[in-house]
Structure formats: C-alpha cells, structure tokens
Structure 1
Amino acid sequence: MEAAGRVGIAILGGLELWLGDRPQPVGHARRRAVLAVLAAEANRVVPVDSVIDRVWGERPPDKVRSALRVYLSHLRRALTPTGMTIARQESGYVLVADAHRVDLHLFRRLLAQSRDAREPRRALSLVGDALTLWRGEPLAELDTPWAQAVRERLRRERAAAEGERIDWALACGRHRQVLPELTTRADAEPLDERLAGQVMLALYRSGRQADALVRYQHTRQRLLGDLGVDPGPALQELHQRILTADPALVPTDGTAATVTARAPAVPRQLPAPPQWFTGRGEHLAALTAAADQRDTMLITAIGGTGGIGKTWLALAWAHRHLDRFPDGQLFVDLHGFSPDTQPMDPATALRGFLGALGVPADRFPHDPDAQAALYRSLVAGKRMLVVLDNAATAEQVVPLLPGTASCTVLVTSRHRLPGLIARHGARPLSLGMFTDAEAHALLVAALGADRVAADEHAVAELMALCGGFPLALGLITARIRYRLRPVDAVAELRTSVLDALDADDPTASLPSVVSWSLRRLTERQRTVFALLGIAPGPDTGLPAAACLTGLPVRETRAVLRGLADACLLDSHHGERYAMHDLVRAFATTYAHHSLTAPVRRAALERGVDFYRHTAHTADGFLNPHRAPIALDPLLTGTHPQPLPDHPAALAWMDTHHPHLLAAQQAAAGHHRHQAVWHLAWTLTAFHRRRGHRHAELAVWRAAVAAAAHLPAAARILAHRRLGSAHAVLGQHEQAMRHLHRALALAEDHHDATQQAHNHHALARAWERRGDSRRSLEHSRHARDLFQDLGQTVWEAVTLNAAGWFAALLGDYDTAREHCGQALALHDRHHDPNGKADVLDSLGYIDCHTGRHRQAVRRYRQALALYRALGNTSQYADTLDRLGHPYTALGDDERARAVWREAQELYRQHGREPDAERVRRHLDDLAG
C-alpha cells in the first residue's frame, strides 16, 4: 500500500482494511481472518474448504458455511469504497483487487523489483520501501496451522529482505552506517554466516582489518563448537581476500555492485539428444502446438511409468526447437525416482540454476525464497527452456518455475502431479506404450532394416512379448546388438520375462526401475499394488478391488487413484484399473516376496467370491427359470455388486467375462472345487447367448475335474455340460462319451430331472451329427420325463425341440402341433427366450411349407426377443434362416442385408463354417 492516502489491506501490519489514513472496521476477528485469507491469495480462487480450514482450523463450528457466507456479505459492503470486491468462482472465493493494494503482495513486488534493479541505490530504496510495510506481527489474530505456516514463511522472507538491504547498503558504500546494526544482529545470531560476512566486510571497509579477521575466528570457533563444521566456502573465501587485502573488496564509484550488472550468462545445459528416438509424433506435435499458441508461461507435465521414454521425449523435442530459446536452456535431474539418492532439495537445484545464470556463489541470497525470487528475476522476459527431469512431487517443482510467459517448462515425472496441473495450469501429457509401428521403427533404427527383415518372425514375437514398453525394447535391442540373435532374445523372454529384462545397470533394468516407483508409495499402496498383481482378470474394477484388498470402497478408490497418479496403473472409464503386462509380472513377483501366503490366499478368495456371487445374481436375470442352487456364505470383506435388471446383468457379464474365467482358474489353483463348478454353472446361459463356445468348453473341463471331489449331482451336470460343449464344436466322440457318462450317473442315482436334461442334451448332440431321427427320440423321452416331473418350462423347451426335429424330418404338421403347445406354455410362464426359440422353429416350418410372409413375421418376432435378451448367438442363426423366405419373396436386398449381418456375427463368434455357408448364399444371390 502507498504510505499516504492508501486504500488496501494490511497483512504485514496486523489484519486491517485501510481507506485513507485510518484503518476501517471490518467486524470481529473471524471476519478479518476471512479477509486476510482471501487477500493473501489476491486474484486467485481459494476453495471454500480451504477458507474454512485456514480460518477455523481443525474444529470448525456447526453451520460454518452459513457463517462464512454472512462474513463475506459484510466484507463486500466494507470493501465497496475501495473498489475491491469478493467474487464467487467455481468452488471458492476470490478477492478481486490490484495486487499492490495488499501490503504482502506489494512487499514481494518491491523485493522483486529491487533484485531486478541494476543500480545499487535504486535497489536499496526499493528494499527499504518493502521493509517499511512491516508494522507488526503478520496475521496476529489468527492461530490456525495455515497462519502459523504463513507467519514462518514471511519471517524468512523478511529476514532475506533485511540481508539484501544490508548487501545493497554495502554496495552503496554505507558500511559505516550499517555497522552498528550489523554487529548487534550478528551477536544475536552467531551461527549466521551471511551476517558474519557482512560484518567482516563492513569492518574491513571501515579500516578495521584486524577486527574483521577476529570476527571470522569467533564465527569459526562457534560453528565448530556448536555444529562441528567449518565455515562455508563463501565465508572462507572472504576471509582469504581480507587477509590478502584484495583491492576489489573496496568499492569505487564505478564498481558494478549488483549481480545483475554482470554480463548475462547463456546456459546450455541440455544433455545430448537420444540416439534412437523414434515415434511419439502426436506428442511432439502437441508440445509444438502448445508452444505456438500459448499466451502464458507454458508448463507441460510429461507423465508415465518408469522407462516409458519421458526424458527422451523432452530432450528430443528440445533439441529440435533450440531456435525458440535463444536465451538458453536449463536442465536438472531432480532424482525423484533414483535408486541410491533421495529427491533433490529444490534449493539445491536453484543454486545450480543461479550459478548457470552467472551469479557468483557469494552473491546467492541466504534464504531459499529469496533465491527463488532472484532466479525468477534473472529469467524474467527471457526466451528460455527449463527442463525439470524426474520430479517426485509438485512441491519439488514449484520453486523452480519461472514467473513470466516468455519461458517454457517441461517437467517429467512418474507421478501425474495433479497439484501442478490444478494450481499452476500445467498441461498434462501422458505417455503410453509404443504402437507396433513405433516399436518396429525403434528396432530398425537400432539394429538396421536388413537385420530386422532377416528375422521378421522373431522380431514380431519380441515386440509382442515387450508389449510396446520402450525400456524393455531398448534393453533387448542392446543385447541383440552385442551378443544375441532375435530368436535367442525371444527364448529368454519366454522363459522368464523379468529375468530377461534385468540388468547390472539399475537404470536399464525394468524390475529395478519399477521398484524405485514403489519407494515413493505408502505401505498400503504397496500392498494393494502387490494384490493387483494376483487379481483375476486383465484389469480390476473398484468393487472387485475393494473385495480383493478388504478395504472400504472409499479407501480403495483413494489408493487406486494414488497408484494411477504414480503411473503404475492405467485408469479407464468406469473406474477400471489395469497394469501393463510387464508391470503386472513385477507386481505378481513382488506379491510373493512381500506378502505372506495366507494374506495372498485370503485376498484371492475374496476376489473369487466377488465374481462368482455377482455372476450368480446376473445369471438369475439371464436364466430366471433355472432351478436354484445353494451358495456358500460370503467371506468377510466380500461385497458382491448389486445388479438391478437384465440389461445391467448382461452388461456386467460382458465386461467381466475374462475375470470370471480367470477367477475359475484361480479357484482351481487353490482347490476350491465348489467355486470352480459354480462359476461354470453361472456362465452357461451367458456363453450360450453370446456364442462363447470355446470358453464354455474350457470352464466345463475345469468343472469336471473339480466335480470329482463333489456330490454326484455336480458330477452329472458337469459331464452333461462338457458333452454339450464338445458337441457344439463338432467334437462328436468326446461329446457322446461325456453325455452317456452323465446319463449313466443320473440313472444310477435315480435322478429323473438329470435324466431328462441329458436326453435333451443328447438330442442336440445327435442333431449336430445329422441324425434328426435319434434327436427326435431323445427329445420326446425328455419331454415325457419333464411332463411327469411337472417342470412345465422344460416341458415347453423339449416340446419345441421335438417340433424342430419333426420339421427337419419333413413332418411339418406334427412339428407345428408340438411348437404350438410349446408357445402356449412359454407364454404362460413369461419365458421370452423360450418363446423366441419357438417362433424361430415356427418360422422354419412356415418357410418350408410355402408360407413365406408368415415365416418372415415369425423370424422377425424371434429376432426382436433375441435382441432384447442380448442373445447374439441365436440371433445370428435366425438371421441366417430369415434370408431364405426373403429370397423366395424376391426381396433380394433384404436377404442380402440379413445374411451380411449374420455373417459378421458368425465371424465375431468364431463360427467360420457358418460364416462360409452364408458367404455361399450371398454368392448365389449375386450370381
């Protein structure tokens, strides 16, 4: 604020609003505290929660938000004469005001101007004006943790400013005037080497060389006695210069006494560009586009897992655009994720930057905040590039950011640095794995096109095993260059991928690089990372992860987000998280080394139970007429996902089909026989609707093995389902062996229901062998058994089957009669899938008895039901059959459309013989 006629807010002067020469009332302490919090961040939005935390601390009163709104209303009225106002923006509030109207910001602006001044007297005047703004204890009425931290930071800023004032006074030849003050301050702070140096210089320039040397000895003895260290290099150098009476210590009228008066240094700190950099065209273009279009300082946060190529991208782009940065390039490795060092203190990086910018070590400000301010002053207005490589946190980066739009900053980190993005407007640029084309280009660049082409098959497999991971590709490429053939490298990767990607140099070892990322995680995050390595399936959703970890959903979400921010997980739509295959291989190994066997087993069992209990619910929607089975009680910590309806159930099964298959494998590995059998049972209806024929075979093979340890009913069903799965794939001998085994077991145990189901399955198996007569016999036998058992839904199913087989045998009247009875039963029991099956059969009967328009209506009714049920397998069959009445009616265009759709579905389901048959229909139509 100006000294007179001021309009503004005093923070350094004790929470006051000034209008004219007198402070204006703004109410009680809390209201003034709210004003101070907003003024400290003038023209920047402060979130509501942050305001409350800074004003009230850890224990805000009830209805604190209402109180805050009242305070803000009063403050707006009080601010009206000043031209300042408080606005609501996004999720917080902002004080809209010229920064110089708040004494804190004016103080910092004056200091920055002083550091930018080339003339010592001007700099001294500016520092003096800044210090006159201090008239009391900052934020004196506020005692929250935020206020305490701000006060401590401001204390350091004031101390740095006092030191700079003395420096400028000495540069102006005022050593005699400041000597009394300096001596008093140095006596009070005997370990402050900067103060000691200022006293020594003032004494020497006052003609008291001996006193200056004595002061050095006193300081040295105190440092040795209290801290056990010698004075630093700067103080030792000054002592030596005083000993030798260096003439340069005595300023003359022409002495350039400020650091900014030196010839500016042009740093060129970039390391060499990467030798085999390839690909990343979109990322390079994004960096260039951002540099072209920006109107503020450009900060790009390049994120990605270790070994993904972040530094390579930054250096490659920088070297291609050196002409944009004529004033120099600064580079520092912040060691955020290094094997043998802690993350670099930003103050250390700052000192390196100041030295590169031409500041002598003895001219470095003592206070870190002052060093950062000097750094910003030196690069202000310059077209410079600053590369901050391997950052650990946003806090490590912020002190190294320039303050003007002329500079460009590239930050690389294994952490996504959300704080840097939110608070400083950094643009995120995430790196993923190489595409196949990029991976191939890297191999060609490193090995040569001829060598890659000479072993094309091995190179393709090598690329697949590395999964586009740049570090893995680089390591394998280096080995091929010096000692391995591509085929040998592939053999190593197949045997043990992590061993093959290990190396003596930890920076080139994928296991080492991933392990460094774990060091920055909490213990809980490391545990969850390990558990995700053994989780069933290719990725993990939030509900499944909560069961796997045994944590509440809220805590699980926080841990998963932390792992995603650390670039160890990829976050997908719908809160799904996945690891790259190589990172997952490391996580699996880490789980076996860091977690006990009971912990791993308990977690995996919770994960398996999540999938099978949720799948059981889903199957209830897909197959509501199936006889229920009893489930084991849920394990503690397992919470199945609720599914409200049929569409949700089908969508869940589509998403989690790979996880259910993996869960069954995990259950088999832990000898959980009931879970293995039950997972196969829950998947059958889904597999049938979606055409997952090979998956159906696999799950029932596992279930048959597990059923050997279960009661007879489980064994019967397992053999029947496995036999049916073989039959669908045309493996007739295996099909008949298991189906007859199931029938024999059912007869031995006098289980009429299982006998009926087995006859129905045999009917379908004989159909696939082309024996419709035997199919009809088994269908009628099954119908009779279900009728005797009173199971009318299955009676309807087998009636329709009998009608279908009668139609295949040319007995259309009998077929229509059976199917009509089946349709009535399905309507009575509201079974849409069964009704669709019957309509499909009736369409076939109508088509083969010349009723083509009726056939089209039947088929289209069946298609509508199949579509609503998500039954794409039988939907494809009905489309296939619908083409025939269309052709009979001369509607070739519609026939062509339905056959093309059927052909595409067959191909999606892997039913190539069916797709080929439809292709012939299309060829005939074209001919």
Structure 2
Amino acid sequence: MACGGQLAAEFGVLGVVEARIGGEPVDLGHARQRCVLSVLLVEAGRPVTVDQLMDRVWGDRAPQRAAGALYSYLSRLRRAVAGAGGVEIRREPGGYLLTADPQSVDLHRFRRLMTEARATRPDRVAADLIGQALGLWRGDPFAGLETPWLDAMRRTLLGERFAAELDGTDVLLRLGRHGELLPGLTAAVAEHPLDERLAGQAMLALYRCGRQADADEQYRRIRHRLADELGSDPGPALRRLHERILVADPELFAPAGDEPITVPSGESRAAENRATENRAAGETPQAATTVPTQLPADVRAFTGRTGEMAALDRLLAPPGGGEPPLTVALLSGTAGVGKSALAVRWAHHVRHAFPDGQLYVNLRGYDAEQPVTVADALAGFLTALGVRGPEIPPGTDERAGRYRSEITGRRMLVLLDNASSVEQVRPLLPGTGSCLVLITSRDSLPGMVAVHGAERVNLDLLPLPDAVGLLRKLIGVRVDTEPQAAADLAAACARLPLALRIAAELAAERADVPLADLVAELGDHQVRLDLLDAGGDPRAEVRAVFSWSYQNLSADAARAFRLLGLDPGETAHVDAVAALIDTGGRTGEARRLLGVLTRASLVQAGPGGRYGMHDLLRAYAAELATRHDAEPDRRAALTRLFDHYLSGASAAMATLYPDGVPVAGDPDAARAWIEVERPNLAAVCAYGAAHGFYRHTVALAETLFRYLDAGGPVAEAAAVTTSAVSAARALGDRDAQARALSNLGRLHRRQGRLHEAAATYRQALALYTDLGEPAAEGLVLRNLGSVDWRLGDYRRAAEHYRRAWTVYERLGDDAGQADALVRLGLVDARLGDQTQAAQRFASALDLYVTLGDRFSEAYVLSLLARLPQRAAPPDRAAGRLEQSLAAVRSAGDRTAEAYALTDLAGIDARRGRLAEAAGHLRRALVLLRRIGDRASEAEALNDLGQVLLAAGEAAEARAQHDQALALAEEIGDRYEQARAHDGMAAALRDTGDAGTHLDQARRIFAELEVPAAPVVSVG
C-alpha cells in the first residue's frame, strides 16, 4: 500500500499500454484514450501542451471537435487512476501533467537500468541489470495503437532495445558465454545483415567455439553485402577483428566464466509475461471471444518438403529453447511449386499451438482482374473474429486498427495466401508477438524481411525423387514398373506439384497407355507450344502440362473450362456454372462436365456443390477463352452468369420482402442463398462496374440494398453501392446515379460518417432536382435534415424539413407531409418551443389516423406524451406502441423494433416505470448495435443512463453516459455529447468532476442554442 492508504501504481508502454493499481489491471478505455495516456506516460512528470497532445494523438487527422474529445479522454483517465497514491492528471500552466513517479513507468525504468548497467563494473552486475531492463519488454511498444507520433516513438524505442541487447551480448561475451549466445546471434545476424557490431559479435563467438573458417565466412558475407547494398567497406573495428581472427590472436579467447547469465529476448519475455498475467486474472483475455478456424482442407497425397517443414517447425520450437520464433514467415517460390499446399499442410500440423484460432485468406494477388483488396481481407478477418457486420469500420486504416485490437494478445495463426506485394500484406499483420503470420507469394517480398524481420523459406522445384514419389502416390505401381518413364514424366512436368497432379490424373484415366507414350505425347505438345520460349521459366513449362491435359478434354468440357476462367467470383455453384456455359437449364449436364474437369484436376470440388480453380489454371483458362472464344461469346457467357445472380437475388429479396404480394418461397432458404453468394454478388458488382456490365451492377446493387441495409455488413453494402454509383455514372443514367447516391448517403449516415453522408445526399439532391423528380427530392431533403439534426445544426435541419414539406404538399402526399411535420416538431422541441412542437405533432397525428398508419400514429402519440405538458395520455401512447411493437416483431423489422422499444421506454419513464423503461432500452441497444445504427445507439445509452440515475443507480448510469460520450464524440453528435456530460454531472453529484462535466454540457448546449435535455429526450 502507498502512504495515506492509497495503492501503488505501475504503468507499461513496452507492449500493450496498461496500468495496474495495487496489482489489479485498470480499464483504460478505447484506443484513442490509451494514446492520450501513452503521451503522458512518455512525458511523465513533465507538462504536455494541448497542442502537443492533439498533434501526438491525431496528427493531421484531428476531428473538428478534437479539443472536446481530448478533454473527455483526460477526464476519464483521471477517474481511472484516482485510487493510486501520488498519481494525478492535472492541468498546469504549461499543459497537462501526469504526476506519477517516472520509475512506475516501464519505459523510464528500462532507461534507468540501462544507464546504470553501462556505468557498472563488474560485468556480472551489468549483465544482471541489462537482464532486468530487457525483462520489462512485453512486445512492441504501444502495441495495437497507431498514430504518426507513436509510430516514430515506437521505432525509436525498438532501436533502444536493440542497442541494449547488443550491450548485453558484449557483456556476456566478456563473461565467456559465447556458446550459449551463438544460436541467437546467428538468427540476429540474419535479421540485421548490415549491422557491423552484431556481425563482429557473431564472428567472435564463432571463433571462440573453434569455428575460425565460419567466422571468416561471416566477415566475407557482410563485406559483400555492404559493398552491394551500400557501396562501402566494413569499418576499421570489424576489419581489425577479422585480422586478429585470421592470425589466431590468443587475446581473443575469453576468460573462464561463472554461472550462466541469461539476457532474454523481447518475444520470450512477452510470452512469459502474458502467461503470468493470464494466471493472475484466472482466465485468458479471449475467454469469451470467437475462435475462428478458417484453414482450407489439408492436401491429399502430400509428398516431400521435409526440409521446409522443419524450417517452419523451428519457428515454433527453436533448438535448446534459445531465441524465440519469429512471428512472420514467408514461403516464396514460382507459380505451381506448392506454396499453398505446404502452407496449409504445415498450418494443420501446428494448429494445436494456436488455441485462439487460425485465420486464412486467399489474396489472389496475381489475379489481374479480381485481387482481394486489403479492405475486403480485413472485413473477412473481423467477421471471423466475431465483429458484427455493422461494426466493421468503413476505412481501410480503421479496419486495420480494429483488427490489430481484436487480435492483440491472442495466440493465433494468420495464413496470407498468394500475396503479390508488401502493401497487400502489411495492413494484415497483427500488432502482437503472440501471433504467427505465414505468407505465401511468388515474389520474394524483400520488404517483409528487411522491415518486418520475416523468415523466408524458399521453395524450389521438387527434388526428382520427391516428384516421382508424388506420382507414385497418385498413380501407384506403374511408376515402379516404368521408372525411367516416371522420371521423364516428372521432368516434363517441371517437377511442379500442380503439373504433376494434373499429369497423374490423366495417366490414371488412361491406365492402358504406357507412361512412356504419355511422356512422348507431352513432348509433342511442348514442341507445338510457343509458350516454351521463356528461358526455362517453369511457369511456361507448366502451361505445356496444362495444354496437354486441356487437349485431352472433349470439346464441351474444354469450352466449360475456358469459360470458367472468366468468372470473377472465387467459387461457383453448379447452378451458376450451368448458366455460364449455357447448358439450357440442365444442371445435370453442368455437373457432368464439372466432374470431368475435377477428375482432370483442372477444377477443385468444394462443399455444397461449389467449384473453384487454382489461380494459375484460372489465368490459363481465361487466356484460352480470349484465344478461342469470340468476344461476343465471352460477353454472352458473363451476361448469362450475371443474369443468373440477378435473378437469384431478385427471387430471394421477393421472398424476404414480399411487400404485401404473396410469394412462394422459404425465407430461411432465401437468406441462406444471399449469405452464401454474397462474395460473388459483390465481385459481380465490382467487375461489372470496371468492365462495362453497368446495368447488371446497378440492378444487382439496387436489388440487394434493402437486405444489406437491414442487416448485412454495412461496409460491404457501401462497397456494392459505390460500384453502382460508378456504373450509373458510366451509363449516363442520372436517375440510377441519384438513387445509388441516396442509398450511399444512408449507409454513411448509419456508420456515423455524417459529413460524408451530407455531401453524398447533396449530390443526389442536385440530380433529383435537375431530373424533376419531386418525390425523391423530398426524401433526400428529409435525409439531409436528419444529418443536420445529428450534427446539431437545427436551423439548417428545419430548413430542409420545411422544403421537404413544401414538396410533399405540392404532390398531395399526406404521409410525406406528416413525416415532415413530425421532424419539424422535433426541432421545435429541441429548441425549446414545446407549444409549436405539440401543434405540429397533433397535425401529423391527424394525417396518420386518416391514413390508417398505426405504427406512425403510435410514434407521434409517444412524442406528445413525452412533452412537458403531456399533450397526449401516456397510457394511450403506450397501448399504441405495444401494438406496433408486436407488428414489427412479427415482420422481422429489427430497425423498427429498436425504435419502438426506445419510444416505449420514454413513455414508461414518464409514467415512473423505471425498471420497464431500462429493460426496453437494453433490448433496443442490442438491436441497434446489431444493425449498426450508431447515432441511435448513443441516444439510447444516454436515455438508459438517465433512467438508471432516476432509479438510484448512479454508478451504472455513469457507465452508460461514459459509453454514450465516447460514441457521440466519435460520430460528431454534439447534442448527445452534451447530454452525456449532463448525465455524468448528475451521476457524479458533488465531486470535482461533476462541475467540469456540467460546464461542458452547458457550453455545448449554448453553442447549439438549445435548452438542457429533459429526463428522456424527445425524438
């Protein structure tokens, strides 16, 4: 215990940013808030100005209200560390100051220990101090946090750690521990091949271990590297050491050592510290998280690669328990050499070592048409990690940050297959040393080795015995009866596993033909192909093997193979294939042809009647289609395929949303079809927008919008709708462009991207106005007003609502007029004119009663009942709302259900039924989070906080308002920020923070020109 009965505090930035008070972990909040604390911890005991904090936390991407958000983060952090002795975050004339003892922060403790070690003799004491210093590291500094300043600081600190490790090695070499150091030094030299100090340490250790020739070779390697890459020679110190090694200078031999002294590395310490923390907590950090298992099926008849498998195994279990494994491995080699097969085989072999799951994505990096974007790969990973679709951030950087946050501290294997560049891979790397990333690529990706320390394993062609062994597994004893022909066949296949499998399938089908004849036949094909004039490139040779297999197909199977290469999706159902190759609706014929291609190893059968192709085969098939099928025939094939997807999507949507028209069909089956085909539907939209299938893109995006908007991944819906905008613009279809822009604005609004939503709506409005479509114009005006409402610009919102009302009045649209009146009434109520609000609500109510719209009637009654003068009886409003709630639940409309629950909570709160109100709001929050309505979520959190406070549950109320504040700050909803501050002030009552929150609330309310919020807000 600290003096005064307060608890001691410890802070960490050398890994995941953390704080402990009295040994117990402290909740530090979301990533941006932890960035603020990181800056204060680095500068512990020194004031940091507001400008410095904003620059270090946001860089040049600070939001409009960054100062208010910063204040909120500081306030929450102040409460988080309030129980620690001598720790305070306070405002000073020079800025904000964290008063903690710098030695309570692992960074400052590390630096002090290293300063002492470098000034200390004897060496055994120095080694112990360095061991303590390096033992403080739990991983990369500020793991999981990304800002320009933190990134620069992270690089600086990693440099400090590397220097400390080098100092520790010098000390241990002086103590005669060269034998223990050698394995780690060898690995470190591979990671830092141009570091002369490290090379000298390795040379000295090798020499002392009796390996003078190896020490000489180590010197020659770095000399050549320095000359090739930097154009320089080794420095005088390294040259002098080399000369002394060559003449066997007796002074180089170490003195007799004492007991072993270990300088542990960062990653092994991180693993030990994580295990200790988890034991102390009694559970793993992922106790309640999703455990993904995304690995593809293991490869049959896998042969050879024992050396490569062993190299990968060493990443998990290095000899002697010395240096820990690298976290990134790179399998590189030519196309068809078996990189993916080896990666999948090894991943299955070691999956037990990754209890938190395995992630997999085929990046299709060498597919010229449809490589997987980084954003899509991240969305897939986040979904697998249990992040609901609506919660997946829209931007690539935001997705990468969320991904790193989700995976931090988890022991997971991440397999990134078929990567084409470092840029395609880098955002997919976790920010934690607890994971292992395995990458396959035809490229050597030198940046992964140089920057990220990847361990490269190069795959060459299979050795001839292994190539023959694979043939033996696939076609049996014929290999032993014709050994020379088998060896010739392996050579003709360039010893590439993909080609060997294709050749073996053909040999198996022609069991009566000697292998020697098959080899001669393949030779004839090679002579005929001009593809072989490629300087011995195995990728050219394997095309000869493809050609050999292709030439043995029947004409209809060959055509099916060619057309399959055009499909932009990764896999296709047999029904889609039937449409693509035009079997006249005969699915059985498509299935027969797919069976032929599967037996020839030209396509791969998957579960559920789906088929896919290796990327090399896909490219080869598309090339053949370009050569043999006329452009109109290729376009007709894709048109049939896209028509199939559009027809299926239309049927599924009609089943899910019949709109009062009886439609036969199973809603569960319709929903399952869309879910399975969603990646293909998105691929069709993207391909169509890029390759002239504009009408398919527009129609498919419009057809799917209601489903994706209601419950699908919002980020995917935005990508599909963006394709529709592009396609409609290319078509010159301004009406379709306006519809797509209107839909895209709605998606931006749901994601809390309010300024982007407003800009998109304005584009749609301009088009609709020019087109003379007043009904659509009125809808966009209403939506623009809703964005203004969320941004706190109530007068502009009212102007948009008034314009919408004018449009609807001119059209004689009573429902539109009623909606505009309700929204204008909400503005009146927000601005404090309750009488005008009641009049507008009453006028809207009359219209809804006339229209027979019971749901809208119930909503308006709830608004009237919540006005201070209670212009409608609460019981009548509650009755109508309960009827509406039952109706929308029956229809499966989750959005309407969430809104009805929040309305009913408002009525119950006014009637004093606080427990019922809290229950409604909690159920509403579940739905709002599921559908991704972040703005309504912030509002419901504030409502719940106020209901809980009225029920006497101040601590729980404060927690709800705290969540509301963070969310409102993130999406820019100023009114909900003010409500959250107001609620926090009430929950904290007489504490010092209460006044601060109250001041913040009053300031924002004044800026918005609105009165303070009522107990449960109107609207």
TM-score by length of 1: 0.40
TM-score (norm 2): 0.37
